[in-house]
Structure 1
Amino acid sequence: MAIDKAALKEEIMRERGYWARFHDVLLEHAPEFLQAYIAFQAAPARSQVLDRKLCEFIYIAIDISVNHMYERGARRHMGFALQAGATKEELLQVLLLTTVMAAQQPIDSGLAILSEELGASASPPLDAGEQAIKASYAAATGHWPEAGDLLLARTPDLAEGYMAYGRAVWDAGPLTAKEKELIALAICASPTALHEPGMRRHIKGALAAEATPEEIATVLQLAAAISIHSCTLGIPGWEDVINGKLVE
C-alpha cells in the first residue's frame, strides 16, 4: 500500500513540532523508514505515560550530554519544555544534573574495575567519620557508588569533590526525586553512554521514588530516540554526495 506522503508529513509536524531537511530526503527516498521512525519516536508522547515537560527534560539531557553534544536539539527541546510549562530553574537543573552525571560515570566505572583488580586490599574499612560522610551523602542523593568506599578511604580529596558535585544537583533545585532519577537514567541509558551501573542505580532509585515500570520503560525509549541523529546529520550528507557535492 502506497504511503500518503502529504499525510505523513502532516503527522510528523504534529508529533515532532518541526520539519527538517532529513525528513524531506527520507520522505522522497525512504518513506517506509520515515513512517517507522515517527511510530518509534512518537510512542512515548502518544502513550502519555510521562508528561510532556518531563519528556522534553529527558531529550534536553541526552542531547546536551558531553557524550553527544547535539546543541541544536537541546535548544529545540528547551523551547518545547518552556511551551510545556517548564521554568528556567527546572531547565538549569536539568543541565547541571547532566553535567554531573557525565563527570561521575568514568570515576564510578573505573574505580569499580580498580576495586575488582585490587581484591581484598582495595579499601581499608571506613572509620566512624568516613561512615558518617558516606551516610550523609547517600541520604541526600539516594545513592552511593559501587566503589565509593575505595574513593572515600584512598582519595579523600577526590571524594570530597565528587560528593560536593553530586549534592549540588541532587540535594537542591525544583525537580522532584522521581524526575531526577528518570532524567539520570536517560543519561546513562543513552546510546552514546550505555552506562550499565548507572542504569541499575537509577532504575532502583526511580522505583524507590515511586516511578512505575511503564515510566521507566518509556524513559528507555526516549533515550534510544537519539539514534535518529545518525539520519539528522547523515542523510543530508548522503544527498549531497550522490548529487556530487562532497564538501560544503
Structure 2
Amino acid sequence: MSVNTQREELGYWNSTLNYLFEKDPEFFEIYKRFVSTPYKNNVIDAKSRELILVALSSSPTSLCKETLELHMKNAVSQGATEKEILEVLKLISVLGVHTCAVSVPSLVDEYEKYSNQSIEPNLNNKQKKLKEHFIDKMGYWNSFRDILLDNDENFFESYSDYLTNPWESNLLSPKLKEFIYIAIDSSTTHLFDAGTRVHIRNAFKYGATFEEIMEVFKLTSAQGVNTFYVSLPILKDIFSEKDE
C-alpha cells in the first residue's frame, strides 16, 4: 500500500509514521488499525476527538510536544478555534491539584495516628458559601476539600476560581469538558480512579452514552504511541550518524 493511500486512511502523515511504515510495515498496519478505530466508528465527532487528544498530549502527566502539535493542527483542520483550544488547556492545567486529592487524606490519616487527635473541619460562613459555590458550579464535592477549605480559604478560593473559570463559558459543551476530564484522569500516566468516576457520572448527567465514554477510553488507550513520537526521531538520528 502506498504512502499516499496510508495518508488518506489516517487523514495525516508525518516522519514518525513514515519511519514505522518503512522499517516495520507489518507492525505499522497493526498500529494503524489500533489508533484509527475511534475515527472509523465516528461515535464522537471529529473535532471533539482531536480536542480530547490535545488534552491528553498537553496533560501535566504526559506532555508530549510531538503529538500535541499534530492534534492541535488536526483540531484546527476540523474547525476548532484558538479560543476553544485554549479552553482545553485551561481545563487540564488544574490537574496538579490532584496532589491534594490523593495526599491530603493520607496526611489527615497519618496525623491522626501520630497525634491521637482527630481533624474535624469547622467551616465558617464564608467557607460554607465557597463550598456551596463550588458544588453549584462543578456538581460534586470530596471530603479532602473540606480540609483544604478549613486549612487555607484563600488557597481554596483561588483554586476554585481557577478550576471553575472554563465552566463560565459555553466555548466547549459540558459533555465534552467531562470527556476531557475522563480522558486525562484515566490516562495511563495518571489512572486517577476517583476523578474518573466523578466525571463519568457528570458525563451521563450531561447526556453522554455508554458508547461515547467507551470511545474516550479507546482514544486514551492510544496514548502509548507517544513512545514512538518521542523516540523514533532519536533512533533515526543515531543510526543516520552511524552510517555516515
Normalised-by-shorter TM-score class: 0.7 to 0.9
Counterpart pick for 1:109 among 87, 102, 106: 102
Query: Structure 1 residue runs of 4+, over 6 Å off?
Result: none
Q: Distance in 1 between matches of 2:105 and 2:21?
A: 47
- 2:123 is equivalent to residue 138 of structure 1: no
Aligned length: 239
- Quote how far apart the aligned CAs of 1:172 are: 2.6
Q: Which residue of structure 2 aligns with residue 207 of structure 1?
A: 204
Deviations 1:182-206 (A, max 9, x none): 1111121222222222212211211
Greater alpha carbon shift after TM alignment, 218-227 vs 168-177:
168-177
Q: Distance in 1 between matches of 2:211 and 2:222?
A: 17
Q: Which residue of structure 1 aligns with residue 160 of structure 2?
A: 163
TM-score normalized with structure 1 length = 0.86
Q: Distance in 2 between matches of 1:92 and 1:238?
A: 33
Whether the aligned pair in 1 keeps the contact of 2:66 and 2:229 (CA below 8 Å) is no
Change (3 A) 1:146 1:199: farther
Counterpart code for 1:142: G
Secondary structure in structure 2 of the residue aligned to 1:147: helix
The 5 A counterparts of 1:168-179 are 168-179=165-176
Whether the aligned pair in 2 keeps the contact of 1:115 and 1:147 (CA below 8 Å) is no
- Quote how far apart the aligned CAs of 1:77 are: 1.9
Q: Distance in 2 between matches of 1:122 and 1:210?
A: 39
Counterpart pick for 2:88 among 78, 86, 94: 94
Q: Distance in 1 between matches of 2:34 and 2:119?
A: 45
- Quote how far apart the aligned CAs of 1:58 are: 0.6
Whether the aligned pair in 1 keeps the contact of 2:51 and 2:75 (CA below 8 Å) is yes
Q: Distance in 2 between matches of 1:83 and 1:135?
A: 40
Q: Distance in 2 between matches of 1:28 and 1:38?
A: 14
Whether the aligned pair in 1 keeps the contact of 2:59 and 2:93 (CA below 8 Å) is yes
Sequence identity of aligned pairs in percent?
Answer: 30
Long gaps (5+) in structure 1 = none
- Quote how far apart the aligned CAs of 1:146 are: 4.2
Greater alpha carbon shift after TM alignment, 219-228 vs 113-122:
113-122
TM-score normalized with structure 2 length = 0.87
Report the aligned-residue RMSD: 2.3
Long gaps (5+) in structure 2 = none
Q: Distance in 2 between matches of 1:242 and 1:87?
A: 40
Q: Which residue of structure 2 aligns with residue 39 of structure 1?
A: 33
Q: Which residue of structure 1 aligns with residue 10 of structure 2?
A: 16
Q: Distance in 2 between matches of 1:79 and 1:241?
A: 28
Deviations 1:81-132 (A, max 9, x none): 22212222211111111212x2222122222322343458233243444333
- Quote how far apart the aligned CAs of 1:12 are: 3.5
